[in-house]
C-alpha cells in the first residue's frame, strides 16, 4: 500500500510539474513578447542574412519573448505587397515611395525606421536611369516618345518623375512601362524598353553588362529615403520586439562598415547569389559607407510629404497621404 501511494504521489508531482511548465511556456509566448516577426528571406548578403545565419536575431528576440519566421524571396518592396496583405510578411524594408503606393489603398503598415541618405561623393552609386550601350540617347531630354521601365508607385517611378521635371519634360511625353525588377531586367536586355530606372542590386548588375547611365538619384532633389516598415498591429501590440529588431540592424550595419567581408556571401560562396570580383568589391564598398537605420520620428514626415507631393502632382497616388498616418514613433509608441 505504501509503495502504491508513493507511486501515485510521484505521478501527481510529475503532472503538476508538466502543467506548471506548460503554463510558463504559454505565458512566455503570449506575455511580454509573444510577437512573431515575419521577414522575407534575406538572401546571401547583408545584416539580416548574417543575423539569420548566426541566430543573433532569434536570440535577441527571445529575451522579450518574441521570435522570427523567415519567409519567401521577393525582388522588391512592391513585390512583397501581396505577402504583407496575406500576413505572411509583417516586417519589410524598402523606400518611402513604395510604402506610399501601398498606403494609398490601406493603412495596415507604418514606417518605424529611416536611413539617412549617404552624401559622401566617394560612395558607390546605388541606382540610375540606364540605356543600352548602343543607344543613341545621350540625355534625359532625348527620351521623349521612348518606353521607360519603372516599378509602379515605387522608387523607380518617383526618381523618373524627378528627372523628367528637371529636364522640362512632361511625364506624358514618355511611356512609363510598369514592371517589377526581374521583368524589367528581361525587357531591357531584349530591347523591349528603351530605358530603365534600375535600383538596388539590379543597378550594378546592368551596369556591369555595359548599360550607360543618364542620371543618378544623387543628381536629383531625392527625398525618398530607405525605410523599415511593419504591419500596424505588430507595432502597436509588440513595439518592444520591433525595437529589438531595429537595434540588431543598427549594430550589424555599423559592424559591416569595418568588417564588410563577413556580410557578403553569407551562406554560399558559389552560385547565382554569390559575388566575386568587381561586383563583390562594389558591395563591400557600399557597406563601408552605409549608415545605420534610426527610429523614425514625426520630423520625418517632411520626407514623406515631399515624396507624396510628387506622386500626387503626377497622378500616381489617388489621394493625399497624411504623414502622421504613415510614421510610427517607437519611442513614443504611436
Q: Please check whether residue 312 lies inside any domain of the structure.
A: yes
Which residue in 116, 34, 112 sits closest to 330, CA to CA?
Answer: 112
Boundary-marking domain end, from 177, 201, 219: 219
In a shared domain, residues 137 and 168: yes
pLDDT per residue as tens digits for the range 119-139: 999 999 999 999 999 999 999
Boundary-marking domain end, from 178, 198, 219: 219
The set of cell numbers assigned to 83 is: 505577402
DSSP summary character for residue 153: T
Q: How confident is the model at residue 22 (pLDDT cuts 50, 70, 90)?
A: very low
pLDDT per residue as tens digits for the range 168-201: 999 999 999 999 888 999 999 999 999 999 998 8
pLDDT of residue 96 exceeding 70, the answer is yes
Percent of the chain with pLDDT over 90: 75
Q: Cα separation of 265 and 291, whole Å?
A: 21
- pLDDT for 324: 87
Q: Please check whether residue 299 lies inside any domain of the structure.
A: yes
Residue 13: domain span = 1-27
Residue 28's Cβ-side half-sphere holds a number of Cα atoms within 13 Å equal to 11
What is the domain count for the chain?
A: 3
For range 141-153, the mean pLDDT: 96
The set of cell numbers assigned to 275 is: 559575388
Q: What is the pTM of this model?
A: 0.85
From residue 279, how far is each of 28, 50, 104 by CA, in Å? 45, 19, 36
Q: Cα separation of 253 and 169, whole Å?
A: 39
Q: How confident is the model at residue 25 (pLDDT cuts 50, 70, 90)?
A: very low
- pLDDT for 6: 43
Q: Please check whether residue 333 lies inside any domain of the structure.
A: no
In a shared domain, residues 110 and 169: no
Which uninterrupted H or E stretch holds 196? strand 195-199
Q: How confident is the model at residue 268 (pLDDT cuts 50, 70, 90)?
A: very high
Q: Please check whether residue 56 lies inside any domain of the structure.
A: yes
pLDDT per residue as tens digits for the range 195-254: 999 998 899 999 999 999 999 999 999 999 999 999 999 999 999 999 999 999 999 999
Amino acid at each position: 500500500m505504501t509503495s502504491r501511494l508513493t507511486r501515485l504521489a510521484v505521478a501527481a508531482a510529475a503532472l503538476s510539474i508538466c502543467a506548471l511548465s506548460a503554463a510558463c511556456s504559454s505565458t512566455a509566448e503570449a506575455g511580454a513578447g509573444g510577437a512573431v516577426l515575419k521577414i522575407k528571406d534575406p538572401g546571401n548578403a547583408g545584416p539580416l542574412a548574417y543575423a539569420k545565419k548566426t541566430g543573433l536575431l532569434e536570440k535577441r528576440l527571445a529575451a522579450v519573448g518574441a521570435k522570427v519566421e523567415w519567409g519567401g524571396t521577393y525582388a522588391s518592396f512592391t513585390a512583397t505587397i501581396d505577402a504583407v496583405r496575406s500576413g505572411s510578411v509583417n516586417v519589410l524594408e524598402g523606400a518611402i515611395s513604395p510604402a506610399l503606393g501601398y498606403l494609398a489603398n490601406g493603412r495596415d503598415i507604418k514606417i518605424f525606421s529611416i536611413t539617412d541618405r549617404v552624401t559622401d561623393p566617394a560612395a558607390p552609386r546605388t541606382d540610375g536611369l540606364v540605356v543600352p550601350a548602343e543607344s543613341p540617347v545621350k540625355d534625359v531630354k532625348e527620351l521623349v516618345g521612348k518606353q521607360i521601365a519603372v516599378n509602379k508607385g515605387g522608387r523607380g517611378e518617383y526618381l523618373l518623375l524627378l528627372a523628367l521635371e528637371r529636364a522640362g519634360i512632361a511625364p506624358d511625353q514618355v511611356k512609363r512601362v510598369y514592371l517589377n525588377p526581374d521583368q524589367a531586367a528581361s525587357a531591357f536586355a531584349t530591347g523591349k524598353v528603351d530605358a530603365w530606372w534600375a535600383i538596388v542590386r539590379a543597378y550594378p548588375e546592368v551596369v556591369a553588362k555595359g548599360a550607360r547611365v543618364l542620371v543618378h538619384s544623387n543628381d536629383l532633389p531625392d527625398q525618398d529615403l530607405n525605410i523599415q516598415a511593419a504591419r500596424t498591429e505588430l507595432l502597436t501590440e509588440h513595439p518592444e520586439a520591433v525595437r529589438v529588431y531595429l537595434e540588431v540592424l543598427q549594430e550589424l550595419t555599423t559592424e559591416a562598415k569595418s568588417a564588410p567581408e563577413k556580410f557578403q556571401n553569407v551562406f554560399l560562396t558559389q552560385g547565382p547569389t554569390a559575388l566575386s570580383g568587381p561586383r563583390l568589391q562594389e558591395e563591400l564598398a557600399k557597406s563601408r559607407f552605409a549608415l545605420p537605420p534610426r527610429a523614425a520620428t514625426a520630423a520625418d514626415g517632411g520626407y514623406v510629404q515631399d515624396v507624396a507631393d510628387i506622386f500626387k502632382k503626377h497622378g500616381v497616388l489617388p489621394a493625399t497621404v497624411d504623414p502622421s498616418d504613415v510614421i510610427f514613433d517607437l519611442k513614443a509608441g504611436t
